[in-house]
Copies of this chain bind each other. A is one copy, B any other.
Amino acid sequence: MADEVILLDYWPSLFGVRTRIALEEKNKKFVYREQDLCNKSALLLEMNPVHKKIPVLIHNGKPVCESLIQVEYIDETWPGENPLLPSDPYQRAKARFWGDFINKMLPGLGKLMWGTKGEEQEEGKKEFIEMLKTVESELGDKTYFGGETFGYVDIALIGFYGWFDAFEKYGNFSIEAECPKIIAWAKRCVKRYSVAKSLPDSKKITELVPELKKKKGIK
């Protein structure tokens, strides 16, 4: 049987982009199905009944949920081309640690983007910058997080990059001034076909934010 790979996703998602990149790294053709999150499809509710969230990767009819779990699944299912996780257990544990750490940046980003103006937003910005500096010190002067090879941790973080302009605009700060090595790394990542093809347009995201704020009832 030929592989049938479907991705239920929403174009600005910083999670969905991770899965798109992982599939591109494996040269895996997939059917992309844009989801309306205000009116969730029966397929989405059936495939992710627990969280009811995108992205959902459906491989031969079976759903895999949570973006970093999808990235590991993709790597284990199609191991040949461009390994995304290192083969050494210790290096794998390190990669998972940083993937988890990057996921832990989300509450801060949530406050920065959707929190009440003033104190809460400032707190979110502070949290985000502090954590991004920690991630930057892990990157150091390496090309990618895993050294010379683009992989799991790069995928975990680059998903945020399409949102950087929006973070900067709404937080009124410069990520490059705070974390220049992260910006240099992101520019290297974008040179990869998988990333360039998958990342949503920053400008479109920044334009979308007022609409999302309105939907969330944020002034």
Contact = CB atoms under 8 A, between A and B. Distances in A.
Oligomeric state, in number of copies?
2
Contact of A69 (B59, B62, B96): B96
Contact of A97 (B62, B66, B100): B66
Interface in A61-100: 62, 64-66, 69-70, 72-73, 76-77, 89-90, 92-93, 96-97, 100
A101 interface: yes
A134 B90 CA distance: 33
B92 A76 contact: yes
A165 B156 CA distance: 38
A70 B77 CA distance: 23
Nearest to A138: B50
A215 B138 CA distance: 33
SS class, residues of chain A in contact with chain B: helix
A129 B90 CA distance: 36
Size class of the A contact interface (CB-based, 8 Å) = 20 to 34
Nearest to A69: B96
Nearest to A104: B51
A182 to B, nearest CB: 16
Contacts of A73: 89-90, 92-93
B101 A50 contact: yes
B64 A90 contact: yes
Interface of A: 50, 59, 62, 64-66, 69-70, 72-73, 76-77, 89-90, 92-93, 96-97, 100-101, 134
